[in-house]
Amino acid sequence: MSNEKPPKSWTKLEETGKGLTDHKLEEEMRQNPWRRPFRAGAPDIAKASLKRDFEVGLVYYVGDDVEQDRALCGLDRKPPTAHLFKDALEKKKVLLDEVGVVKRLGFDKKKGKFEY
């Protein structure tokens, strides 16, 4: 990583990732210096997009603003993706559980947060 300060939007994304984390690993390691160190399943910078992927099935939400833009371009307000077809999303959630993604990345589906 270059020494220059990262862009504000990048820092904001990383902060969002930290906000999505239940246990602050760095802080806990300081409080418990003898505990065996370990790496969190997902890096903070990726947590926001992972959460969206787990909850929506795609990396971006479709909100009112997107629906309006789509209508302006002559498209249906909602795309024919998992945003519209919730059954596809439910199936993906089963796969995420079955193959161990949710467990290994420490994602708490009820809280919508990562354990570490």
Partner 1 sequence: MSTVQPKDDKTASKEKYGYFLGCVMPVKMPWAEKATLLVSKHLGLDFDYMKETLCCIRPGVWRAIDPDWWLTLTSQNLASAEKQKITLVDSCNGCYISHYETLKELKEEPDKMAMVNKNLAKIGMNLSGTLKVRHFLEVLYEDVGIDKIRANIKRPLKLKITRHLGCHARDRGNSPMPRYFDEILKATGLEIIDTPYDLTCCGLLYYFSDPNSAIYQRAGKKIETAQGLGVDAFVIICSGCYDQFERTVKIMSAEKGVKLDVPIVHLSEVLALAFGYKPEDFGMEYCRPIPTTKLIEKLKEEK
**92 touches partner 1 by CB under 8 A:** yes
- Sign, CA torsion 65/71/77/83: negative
Distances (CA, A) of 86 to 56, 61, 101, 107, 113: 9, 13, 20, 20, 21
**64 touches partner 1 by CB under 8 A:** no
Q: 14: alpha, beta or left, given left = phi > 0 and alpha = psi -120 to 50?
A: alpha
| Site size with partner 1, rule: CB under 8 A | 44
Closest approach, Cβ 9 to partner 1, in A, equals: 6
Residue 47 in tokens: 């947590």
Neighbouring C-beta atoms of residue 41, cutoff 10 Å: 17
- What distance in Å separates the CA atoms of residue 92 and residue 57, rounded to the nearest whole number? 7
Candidate list 12, 59, 108, 109; residue touching partner 1; CB under 8 A: 59
**21 touches partner 1 by CB under 8 A:** no
**72 touches partner 1 by CB under 8 A:** yes
**53 touches partner 1 by CB under 8 A:** yes
Residues that bind partner 1 (CB under 8 A): 1-2, 4, 6-10, 43, 45-46, 53, 57-62, 66, 69-70, 72-75, 79-83, 85, 87-89, 91-92, 94-96, 98-101, 104
